[in-house]
Structure 1
Amino acid sequence: MNNYFSGAKSWNGLEQRKKNQLSSFSLPQKNQNSLKMSVLLGAFIDYLQHTKNSSPRTVSNYKLWIQRLVDYLGDPLISELRPMNIQNFRMELAKTGLDKKTINYHIIAMRSFLKFLLKNEIDCISPEKLELAKIPQREVSYLQENEIEAILNAPLFYEKNPLKQARDQLILQVLYGTGLRVSELTSLMRENLILGEKQFSIRGKGSKVRSVFFTSTALQYLEEYLMMRTDTYDPVFISLSRNSYGQKISRNSIEELVRKYAKLAGIDKKVTPHTLRHSFATMLIKKGADIRSVQTLLGHSSIQTTQIYTHVDDRFLREVHDLLDE
């Protein structure tokens, strides 16, 4: 077994083995159980891309997580894989400092891989034998109303460039007012929008199309922002940097933008684009929205995923309880 974790190798320096092999694969028809894991991984990646229409990020992550196991084991035959191999792999991941949640992602990816193999009549260990570590339910981070107001208005006070100010303020308004994921926001094109319409459609996770609604404020900012744009670039949110002007704004740029304005707004906690998504869902729940509607607006395929947004802070609970005294 190769000591994949030793020496100077690190997660950021993973070898991209068989980089060009993992596309356009189909499962060989003979001796399938004597195939190496790397070959079957290629078929699985092809399945994710072309059959399941998984997002590029999902495909990239699953490829990375399973490839780590393949490299750790030295690319064995699928018939040689045993639950104990994966248990040892899990322990090696823990030694590198990865938390339980991230390690679980690796196991979830392996489960999907094994289910795919069994579905294609390739004998392998049962996915059910791969247990996930129990993780305490974390408290979802979200912003209070005064913090939301502060961050949404921050570009007005701290950005002097008119176009950048308009773009940044619209990004914050859309993240909070629609609950879009960053990947959905960055992929938004002009053709997706009809000016004057508060509703538009977007292709989210799993290539599922859903309706998204602008707030009146966000719609106003959108119209003003697009009127300021003198270019014909397709992305709604473009980079304004000299070396990438006109390209769709990157995920990293959005994350940095949110961090910057949260700090300038005096918010003394970590704020990410997903914090604004949490805040969107939390505010809907507080205002009486039912969980199924929130699920639809967020684009969740499972109601269980939406359940994490139904937390209510102590102050709100006290306000509800105080109604008994009125």
Structure 2
Amino acid sequence: MLLISFVFSFFVVTFVADNMKLVVMANKVKKQAKVKEPIRIRYKAISSGNQSIYLDYYYNGKREYEFLKLYLVPETSLENKEANKATLKLANAIKAQRIVELQNNQHGFSSGGGKSKIHLIEYIKTIANKKRELAGGEERGSYQFYLSLAYHLKQYSGDKTSFKHIDKKYCTGFIEYIKTAKSMLNGNPLNENTQRQYIKRLASVINSAIADEMIPSNPFMQIKPEDIPKGHSAEVCYLTLDEVRSLIETPCYYSNIKNGFLFSCFTGLRFSDVEALTWGKLQKDSEGNTFINFTQKKTQKWENLPVSREAMKFLPERGLASGDDLVFKFQSGGYINSIIKTWAKSAGINKKVTFHVARHTNATLLLSLEVPIETVSKILGHSDIKTTQIYAKVIDKSKRDAVNKLDGLTW
């Protein structure tokens, strides 16, 4: 009896001990399951309706992405489901391999040649060059602005920053930098409008990088709007009809610049389009009316712009010029604005007049003559009527200022 009791007690103790071991092992498994993986599989929806698979690395406080060029397709058939299973199996195999590489420190914290290692500044310069090509080789406008952005990014974080470094912290740091940055041209502090433009342009660059699968998301989407410089509506500089008449009557040593500026006042063409205007683009319809058949340099949109008889007055004599010859032959852009400034001053105009003021003048003249804003928007080639509404606000303000001049006339 004593022996049976001993055997029974032995089995009870053994059973309890074994179960305790199982509980301990189970707890260990649970704890191990809670360990955060340094690499995770993520998905990004793309325009085709598929999902691009990428690896999200997070190690030692750093984040990096590697796009695998593997895609999940909509599971509309059994064949697609099987294809997705095979794709996910491959993605998990790559993930497992990357984890081993990371843990063995074979390649350090690197995704093994992913696009995320491309330098940000080099990417921006590539975009700038594409803009220059679209503008027919002109090194102004968007091209210069992208180069200025590259300059400020280099000042902020050096020229070795790659897309794997672009996160919320990097973007908020750039916002703080740009608030105190100075112009690369004159060393003056940047105004809030310019600060905002640099931030918007960097966000646009990141959106392009998303399309090129260099980064999965835009960190600027995580930043509160109130943390970004607001900017202020810049005052639109334009000429009144009397000021345009003064310019017509005032001599200018460079007649081609004078005629080109006044031609823009009555057509609304940008400087880049006036500069690129050839005689062949000036055409006539069946009724003898002149129009310009051209593609806008800035937007690359095709336009068919009617030309008024008033604007035709400022065209030079064609002579023997061919259809490919330029109508106006200008000097460099900066030099042109200096000439226009001197000319305007001689005409008694105390405004900061540049060639682009001619385009503003065309818009305000048409609106003051009660041309519908939709028509003005089409003449200017605006993609969004909101851009044209800026000029409508200028006209409304001018009317209000005129009415206010009547105040106090009687008592």
TM-score band w.r.t. shorter chain: 0.7 to 0.9
1:143-193: CA deviation from partner (whole Å, max 9, x where unpaired): 2221121112212xx55xxxx54x344223212101111111111122222
2:246 alignment partner in structure 1: 150
Question: How far apart, in 2, do the equivalents of 1:181 and 1:144 lie?
Answer: 18
Amino acid corresponding to residue 108 of structure 1 in structure 2? K
Question: How far apart, in 1, do the equivalents of 2:382 and 2:220 lie?
Answer: 24
Shift of 1:319: 6.8
**Paired residues, number:** 275
Whether contact under 8 Å (2:294, 2:302) holds in the other structure is yes
Alignment map for 1:3-82 (pairs within 5 Å): 31-41=114-124, 44-45=127-128, 48=131, 53=134, 56=138, 57-74=141-158, 75-82=160-167
1:185-212: CA deviation from partner (whole Å, max 9, x where unpaired): 1111222223775211232212112122
Structure 2: runs of 5 or more not aligned: 1-66, 70-112, 183-188, 405-411
Question: How far apart, in 2, do the equivalents of 1:315 and 1:308 lie?
Answer: 13
Identify if the C-alpha distance between structure 1 residues 39 and 249 changes in structure 2 by more than 3 Å, giving closer, same or farther: closer
Identify if the C-alpha distance between structure 1 residues 265 and 313 changes in structure 2 by more than 3 Å, giving closer, same or farther: farther
Which residue, out of 207, 220, 234, partners 2:300?
207
2:177 alignment partner in structure 1: 92
Amino acid corresponding to residue 72 of structure 1 in structure 2? Y
Question: How far apart, in 1, do the equivalents of 2:294 and 2:246 lie?
Answer: 28
Higher helix share: 1
Q: Which segment is superposed worse, 118-127 or 185-194?
A: 118-127
1:305 alignment partner in structure 2: 387
Residue 399 of structure 2 is aligned to residue 316 of structure 1: yes
Return the TM-score normalized by structure 1: 0.72
Amino acid corresponding to residue 102 of structure 1 in structure 2? T
* Structure number with larger C-alpha Rg: 2
1:216 alignment partner in structure 2: 309
Question: How far apart, in 1, do the equivalents of 2:149 and 2:359 lie?
Answer: 26
Shift of 1:276: 2.1
1:42-79: CA deviation from partner (whole Å, max 9, x where unpaired): 554466567xx467432342243135314531222211
Structure 1: runs of 5 or more not aligned: 1-26, 239-247, 322-326
For residue 266 of structure 1, give the secondary structure of its aligned residue in structure 2. coil
2:260 alignment partner in structure 1: 171
Question: How far apart, in 1, do the equivalents of 2:289 and 2:129 lie?
Answer: 38
1:87-137: CA deviation from partner (whole Å, max 9, x where unpaired): 333333324211111222211221111101112222254343465421222
Shift of 1:138: 3.0
Amino acid corresponding to residue 208 of structure 1 in structure 2? K
Whether contact under 8 Å (1:101, 1:135) holds in the other structure is yes
Higher strand share: 2
Residue 280 of structure 2 is aligned to residue 187 of structure 1: no
1:226 alignment partner in structure 2: 317
Identify if the C-alpha distance between structure 1 residues 210 and 127 changes in structure 2 by more than 3 Å, giving closer, same or farther: farther
Identify if the C-alpha distance between structure 1 residues 40 and 249 changes in structure 2 by more than 3 Å, giving closer, same or farther: closer
For residue 117 of structure 1, give the secondary structure of its aligned residue in structure 2. helix
Amino acid corresponding to residue 327 of structure 2 in structure 1? V
Q: Which segment is superposed worse, 173-182 or 117-126?
A: 117-126
Amino acid corresponding to residue 296 of structure 1 in structure 2? K
Structure with larger RCO (C-alpha < 8 A, sep 6+): 1
CA RMSD of aligned residues (A): 3.2
Identify if the C-alpha distance between structure 1 residues 138 and 46 changes in structure 2 by more than 3 Å, giving closer, same or farther: closer
Shift of 1:250: 2.7
Whether contact under 8 Å (1:186, 1:250) holds in the other structure is no
Identify if the C-alpha distance between structure 1 residues 43 and 315 changes in structure 2 by more than 3 Å, giving closer, same or farther: closer
